[in-house]
Amino acid sequence: MVITEEQIEYRGRKVHMKWHESFIFPDAPPITQVFLLCLNSKKEVMLAKKKNGKYTLPGGHPQGNETQIETLAREMREEVCATFKEPQLLGYIEVSDPDNKEKEGCHYLQLRYVATLKQLENFQNHPETVERIFVPIEDLAQYLQWIQNSIGKSLVESLQKFINRDKLLKSIKKDKK
């Protein structure tokens, strides 16, 4: 299901993006990014603070033949010294970037997963990361500038729906006992 479409200016190019709230993604085009919305027990989202002072979701680019989950696990260990459990695809951003001359090409996907925190290790600086924090969902726009655009707002709506659906499923399981 397509939630939102947006055209942005990126590095002097017009880029068209579509947010798809989905539990599956198409076989093509290539996947160039995999990021995780990792939730603690308070349903706060983990962010990594980069050396440039900006915050980001943990994640990155798949390396070699890594699966999406392997990419997330590696990036979580490297960037925020943490592990996660129960990852589920929240959705993906389909990007059309006709003038892109970089390796990802003109048409690609950026996946967004959601999972619960399994364990925090002692934080050690990654070459790019200086801190990890947990932020209430309603405060994400204060840390992530892109959350303020229509794609970001749709992603947050999808996350809220996921959390509400998760609460409902846990309630149903509890009632059956």
Instruction: Report the half-sphere exposure of 173 (CA within 13 A, side-chain side).
Output: 6
Instruction: Tell the CATH topology of 2-176.
Output: Nucleoside Triphosphate Pyrophosphohydrolase (3.90.79)
* CB-neighbour burial class of residue 16 (10 A; exposed 0-12, middle 13-18, buried 19+): middle
Instruction: Report the half-sphere exposure of 58 (CA within 13 A, side-chain side).
Output: 35
Nearest-10 Cα torsion for 172, 35, 117, 138: -70
Compute how many other C-beta atoms are within 10 angstroms of the C-beta atom of residue 99: 11
- Using CA atoms, how far apart are residues 83 and 117, in angstroms rounded to an integer? 6
The pLDDT of residue 8 is 87
Locate the domains of the chain by residue range.
2-176
The pLDDT of residue 35 is 98
**β-bridge mates for residue 107, sequence order:** 96
User: What is the per-residue pLDDT across 78-105, written as a single tens digit (0 to 9) for each?
Assistant: 999 999 999 999 999 999 999 888 878 8
pLDDT of 7 strictly over 70:
yes
The pLDDT of residue 59 is 96
- Model confidence, pTM: 0.90
